Structure 1
């Protein structure tokens, strides 16, 4: 009996100690949603936030468009301006001069180059006019220096190698203007490479012979090689040809959303081996699967078939086109893409390639803009969702800017070495 009482007492004491070692839920206060958001916004403000892809130069060549004014995206279609960058705490951005694919002859190439230079010059002029709030950035550390000054860093890229034409010397001319990445191809094949979406299929089997020379020249100068929009063979060729890490300025994960513009797991693993980075984009089609909608597809195709190039439209024609697209979206709605979809792709790329090989490239003013991240003023919602999923400040810093800056530095270091070897 005494032994039995002893055992009962011992069990009772062990139970008390166990309760002391494990605090009850009332002892530890769970983080509220308001506290989580506040913590996320603090992280967002602290880290360098860099968006690697916006087609805003197309807006900047519109007569009367002022980047220093805040624009309503629902009224004008504009997704980026300097006030909204500040609202969203977006520290730096790559403005991509986009030239749609046209006839590949001397006249077409000349027109493409002229339009590209016009857009690059418009970016440069805008940074000079607004030097109190933004600065033209040319090197990786410029973003951090401008951030310390309380200014937004404006980098430049080219989307679609078409304006290079057949002249290799154009690559250096664009570099001297300030271009720091070139997307080799867009929605149709060009003289450099094959597109992932050309309806006629492949032409070069990846990167052409001339495109290979362009990649070499980009390596020599310190321009990042961007494989977004290229078909799978372009990716593998770029990995093989480039002496520096490559980027995908606005691409997602194909395992999450089956789209030819997205990257397979094999590609993601190779990107990690290469040391490159994949920048997640806010384009709904690449973020979530779309149910078949033949009527919508037909209506959209008919509208695009009758479109003039945007650069040739009057203000009234642009406004009319926006209304036509809005009307079609209302008549044939697609399910929205959300910030959760963005985080799903980030989670997958981190799982496959690692935290050092993912970033953000929203594609604002080029089709990007989803529920919760409709324009530059809402990019902090990405950070909030990442915090909600358990990402640390250090990881978020890598995703938002650190990874791209690392690649940028390695590209410049490779260029310096190549130039030293040639001298």
Structure 2
């Protein structure tokens, strides 16, 4: 009888367990987070973490007569993607404004013009932060972003896109550092005296980084300027990994395995970036985020438009407006499928899988072609965080992606510089 009672109790307990298990999904469904609750949670995370965008070409706007960063600009009317009000709307805490100089003739006159334009843009950034010191502050060191955030201000860092303004004078690197520059993109869309571009129609010239470019990398290491390999060809990346004594960055590049573009990074490069301790900053440029079907008519129209263009730095305000209008009309006539925040998160997922959570960040390339559906300008950057929360990223992981990883590299670059200057680097 006792054995029968034991069997009965075991069966009864088993039935209760099965019933309770069947009831749990219903309870979980009742407790499930709604879409509205998820978005609110994501926005709170976005507000708490330091949000840092490593690449915007906004200084080109800032040297336009009458352009005021303190005013909110309509991106559909003006083409402008960043100003201080929209940084606040998007809870974007910090940004690197890159002084971009398009590649031109590589002689003394060309180098002189490039340096003058670069300095003009840097000075415009500094002047803007001084005029608007109640809402922004010029940032020089990694921790400045956090201290300015505590003051309720946006942190404005300075970079240079394209090493062309260095010319052939190594002392220019220190001059730019003293002006506040904290990263330099070695090359842009055409080869220069420092390195080879990923997109130069004439192909490679130096086989990667030139001999003078190697000296520039060494000087950047000595001073504490981050070495940026975005826009460089694959050989530039591998050379930078070997040459730099400090971790390197790609201020606005994506994953080539997800979107096969020369500007994106292969899985091998991503793994080496992790070994190096560096970071790849995802950019919001459609062609780097998704594959577009062949569009020969559009490609021909773009090529014809660019062939007749002056370098942007030499354009008048009216000419720049006309250029933007022409590109807008071209995009309307020959539309490409949009890139979305889903594509951005797909690239982040891939880089995290290959390189790890410590080696990915955000570099939108606003005012330089960046701007996609859902992240069209600085006011919409919180949509990246919302998509990451939907995919299960934790607040700690999101904090790394949005700023923590770049700040870590920035600190390591400065630490290496201190060791070099003290003669302690081995």
Q: Do these two structures clear the TM 0.5 threshold for a shared fold by scoring above it?
A: yes
Return 76-85 or 12-21, whichever deviates more: 12-21
Residue of structure 2 equivalent to 1:188: 190
Is 1:284 the counterpart of 2:286 in the alignment?
yes
Secondary structure at 2:95's aligned position in 1? strand
Query: 2:27 aligns to what SS in structure 1?
Result: coil
Q: For 1:259-298, what aligned pairs fall within 5 Å after superposition?
A: 259-298=261-300
Which structure 2 residues correspond to residues 323-338 of structure 1 after superposition, within 5 A?
A: 323-338=325-340
- Per-residue deviation, 1:342: 0.3
Structure 1 equivalent of residue 410 of structure 2: 408
Length-normalised TM-score, structure 2: 0.97
Displacement of 1:319? 2.3
Partner of 2:110: 108
Aligned residues: 423
How far the C-alpha of 1:183 sits from its partner, in A, is 0.2
Name the CA shift for 1:192/1:17 in 2 (closer, same or farther; >3 Å). Answer: same
Give structure 2 stretches of 5+ with no counterpart: none
Any idea what the Cα deviations from partners look like across 1:52-107, whole Å, max 9, x if unmatched?
A: 00000000000000000000000000000000000000000000000000000000
* CA distance in structure 1 between the partners assigned to 2:214 and 2:319 by the alignment: 40
Deviation at 1:15, TM superposition (A): 1.6
8 Å CA contact 2:101–2:313 kept in 1: the answer is no
CA distance in 1, matches of 2:257, 2:420: 37
Offset of 1:8 from its aligned partner?
6.2
- 1:146 matches 2:154: no
- Quote how far apart the aligned CAs of 1:313 are: 2.7
TM-fit CA distance, 1:150: 0.1
Report the 3-state secondary structure (helix = DSSP H, G, I; strand = E; otherwise coil) of the residue aligned with 1:26: helix
Deviation at 1:19, TM superposition (A): 3.1
- Counterpart among 145, 151, 166 of residue 164 in structure 1: 166
The answer to whether 1:375 aligns with 2:377 is: yes
Partner of 2:395: 393
1:128 aligns with 2:133: no
Q: CA deviation at 1:11?
A: 2.5
1:16 is aligned to 2:16: yes
The two structures, once aligned, show a CA RMSD in angstroms of 1.6
Distance across 2 between alignment mates of 1:256 and 1:201: 24
* Cα distance in 2 for residues equivalent to 1:422 and 1:9: 74
- Could you tell me which residue of structure 2 aligns to residue 58 of structure 1? 60
Match status 1:239 vs 2:238: no
Distance 2:89 2:306 in 1: 33
CA distance in 2, matches of 1:23, 1:387: 27
**Secondary structure in 1 matching 2:99:** strand
Q: Which moved more, 1:350-359 or 1:7-16?
A: 7-16
> In structure 2, what is the Cα distance between the partners aligned to 1:407 and 1:225?
11
Helix, strand or coil: the match of 1:85?
Answer: helix
User: 1:171 & 1:318 partners in 2: Cα distance?
Assistant: 29
Whole-Å separation in 2 of the counterparts to 1:25 and 1:202: 60
Select 1:211's aligned residue among 210, 213, 221. 213
Q: Quick one: which of 28, 43, 51 aligns to 1:41?
A: 43
Q: 1:177 aligned to 2:175?
A: no
Between the aligned partners of 1:21 and 1:370, the Cα distance in structure 2 is 45
**Which residue does the alignment assign to 2:26?**
26
